[in-house]
A and B are shown apart, each in its own frame.
Chain A
């Protein structure tokens, strides 16, 4: 392969690598900002940042051995190669010797955890915002769970559920529940009391106030929280698989780390980052569709 071709391919592969890293590095910065930026993903400044990042990476590989830092192109090539078939993985006892089946396993766990965590968190958050007694009971638990790093729960979960899907999913459910509890509660508290007063003077019942006011009014903020939770869940699920699992991206990372296969590890991270970006973009699209009344979002008049 010629030098020119090489450089071109490096550039072509760069966006996913760099923004994948960025996404896992700072998932809790600001939902709405991330939402709007995802739309403007082709911002020239961002592209420039990615190009510089890949260039530095490439430059470093000249000085370091490939075991420490493999060149970007090799990582991309490895990702494409291993995606459908990676026989080397079967030597290490991974159930499915390819990347996509493990990715699917991880994705399933993320979906199960996010859906169930979101239901529990949102309901608890909304109820606690409306009833002081419930808030007094749940708040201390959630606040504690929110401040303690969630991974300290991992050993307990391993004792309770053993190594397997349940432990990993539970860990992510905890994480999602806490985030969405806080978001839903804050969203409900942010709804101006004027709307409820107006609805009551119009003759709305308590039930109607919940379904016609509280829920629609809090949807944008809750979806924002869901997006943050989703972004973090990928990383957390992978980490919890590191702690003991027979399948999943985390398991693959663990065995590759055992084999000091840096290239394979980076290929996996690249894939994880890419999936997270796609999921986040989809979530952003859903937010705009479901809350198109919201002034904070793009004006789309019909």
Chain B
């Protein structure tokens, strides 16, 4: 088990983000959030919509500046987006005017990786996500689930040590979502213990968080309200979700989400 102390990958110190409403009043989307994530950890950010989890991810990605506080990733302060941090967006971001393989290569191409080398890397990841047969296809010919696979392959191929996924599977059907969770976990595992990438995965699906995460952070109204380690062994199956430890965490999460009406009071408070 990877219990040896891994180096710090992501550090947030008193990060805040304010937005200005149309009427001029300020709203805090993220309130004084601080945490440290060690390298190789799979972290899920959970919370109701509007809790600030996506805003947090955007700041980590460098697409949004924090109003206050510092964000350090891999020892460097975040000042803008960069290939060290890959992002899979909720909406489809695959470029429709490039063929699938060109999409997967694009980040590498931007950094001047030689054509043969980047094609090799792109093919490897397309194979991982099960899309080798459509490498010459146009994105419009693919289904929503396949487009997500392309986006995941692109981000992995680009080689960032931190991956951020913002409700990536939210719009997909149950079966596709589970297939993609498996694809993601397999890719993450393929790097091997000790060299795994650090993953931040935003979701509002409690079961998804339980089956994926090493650690679940809960947000509500811009505040970080909980930070729960999930030590259940991998690979996890649907049965893993029925383990007492998982059930206890699930009750806790549902409580945070305001859905614990049926839970025993003792369990919810645990």
Chain A residues with a Cβ under 8 A of chain B: 192, 194-195, 197-205, 208, 212-213, 216-217, 219, 291-295, 299, 301-302
Q: Are B96 and A194 in contact (CB under 8 A)?
A: no
Interchain CA distance A208-B111 in the complex, whole Å: 10
Q: How large is the interface on B (under 10, 10 to 19, 20 to 34, 35 or more residues)?
A: 20 to 34
Main DSSP-derived SS at the B contact region:
loop
Interchain CA distance A205-B96 in the complex, whole Å: 19
What are 30 A-to-B residue pairs whose CB atoms are below 8 Å?
A: A194-B91, A195-B93, A195-B95, A197-B63, A197-B89, A197-B93, A198-B87, A198-B95, A199-B106, A199-B110, A200-B80, A200-B81, A201-B62, A201-B81, A201-B83, A202-B86, A202-B155, A203-B82, A203-B83, A203-B111, A204-B110, A205-B110, A212-B110, A216-B95, A219-B97, A293-B96, A293-B97, A293-B140, A294-B140, A301-B137
B171-209: CB near A (< 8 Å → 1, else 0) gives: 000000000000000000000000000000000000000
Interchain CA distance A195-B103 in the complex, whole Å: 11
Instruction: Give every chain B residue within 8 A of A299 (Cβ-Cβ).
Output: 141
**A299 shortest CB reach to chain B, Å:** 8
Interchain CA distance A66-B85 in the complex, whole Å: 77
Q: Are A201 and B91 in contact (CB under 8 A)?
A: no
Instruction: Give every chain B residue within 8 A of A197 (Cβ-Cβ).
Output: 63, 81, 87, 89, 93
Q: Are A201 and B85 in contact (CB under 8 A)?
A: yes
Q: Are A202 and B138 in contact (CB under 8 A)?
A: no
Which of B82, B95, B110, B140 is in CB contact (< 8 Å) with A295? B140
Chain B residues with a Cβ under 8 A of chain A: 61-63, 80-83, 85-87, 89, 91-93, 95-99, 106-107, 110-111, 136-141, 151, 154-155, 158
Which of B62, B91, B96, B106 is in CB contact (< 8 Å) with A202? B106
**A208 shortest CB reach to chain B, Å:** 5
**B82 shortest CB reach to chain A, Å:** 6
Instruction: Give every chain A residue within 8 A of B89 (Cβ-Cβ).
Output: 194, 197-198
Interchain CA distance A88-B93 in the complex, whole Å: 64
**A222 shortest CB reach to chain B, Å:** 13
Top 8 nearest A-B pairs (CB, nearest first) are A202-B107, A203-B83, A198-B93, A216-B97, A200-B81, A295-B140, A201-B87, A201-B81
Q: Are B91 and A208 in contact (CB under 8 A)?
A: no
Interchain CA distance A292-B98 in the complex, whole Å: 10
Q: Are A294 and B96 in contact (CB under 8 A)?
A: yes
Contact A208/B110 with A197-B63, A202-B154 known, Cβ cut-off 8 Å: yes
Q: Are A202 and B83 in contact (CB under 8 A)?
A: yes
Q: Are A192 and B158 in contact (CB under 8 A)?
A: no
Q: Are B91 and A203 in contact (CB under 8 A)?
A: no
Q: Are B158 and A203 in contact (CB under 8 A)?
A: yes
**B81 shortest CB reach to chain A, Å:** 4
**B115 shortest CB reach to chain A, Å:** 15
**B200 shortest CB reach to chain A, Å:** 13
Instruction: Give every chain B residue within 8 A of A295 (Cβ-Cβ).
Output: 96, 140
Interchain CA distance A294-B80 in the complex, whole Å: 31
Interchain CA distance A228-B137 in the complex, whole Å: 31
Which of A213, A219, A301 is in CB contact (< 8 Å) with B95? A213
**B17 shortest CB reach to chain A, Å:** 17
Interchain CA distance A53-B155 in the complex, whole Å: 60
**B45 shortest CB reach to chain A, Å:** 17
Instruction: Give every chain A residue within 8 A of B136 (Cβ-Cβ).
Output: 302
Instruction: Give every chain A residue within 8 A of B99 (Cβ-Cβ).
Output: 293
Contact A202/B95 with A212-B106, A293-B140, A302-B136 known, Cβ cut-off 8 Å: no
Q: Which residue of A lies closest to B58 (CB)?
A: A197
Q: Are B93 and A194 in contact (CB under 8 A)?
A: yes
**B101 shortest CB reach to chain A, Å:** 13
Interchain CA distance A201-B158 in the complex, whole Å: 10
Which of A200, A202, A292, A294 is in CB contact (< 8 Å) with B63? A200
Scoring A201, A213, A219, A293 by chain B CB atoms within 10 A of each residue's CB, the highest score goes to A201
Instruction: Give every chain A residue within 8 A of B93 (Cβ-Cβ).
Output: 194-195, 197-198
**B143 shortest CB reach to chain A, Å:** 13
Instruction: Give every chain A residue within 8 A of B140 (Cβ-Cβ).
Output: 293-295
**B223 shortest CB reach to chain A, Å:** 26
Q: Which residue of B lies closest to A208 (CB)?
A: B110
Instruction: Give every chain A residue within 8 A of B85 (Cβ-Cβ).
Output: 201
Instruction: Give every chain B residue within 8 A of A219 (Cβ-Cβ).
Output: 97
Q: Which residue of B lies closest to A204 (CB)?
A: B110
Instruction: Give every chain A residue within 8 A of B138 (Cβ-Cβ).
Output: 292-293
Instruction: Give every chain B residue within 8 A of A202 (Cβ-Cβ).
Output: 83, 86, 106-107, 110, 154-155, 158
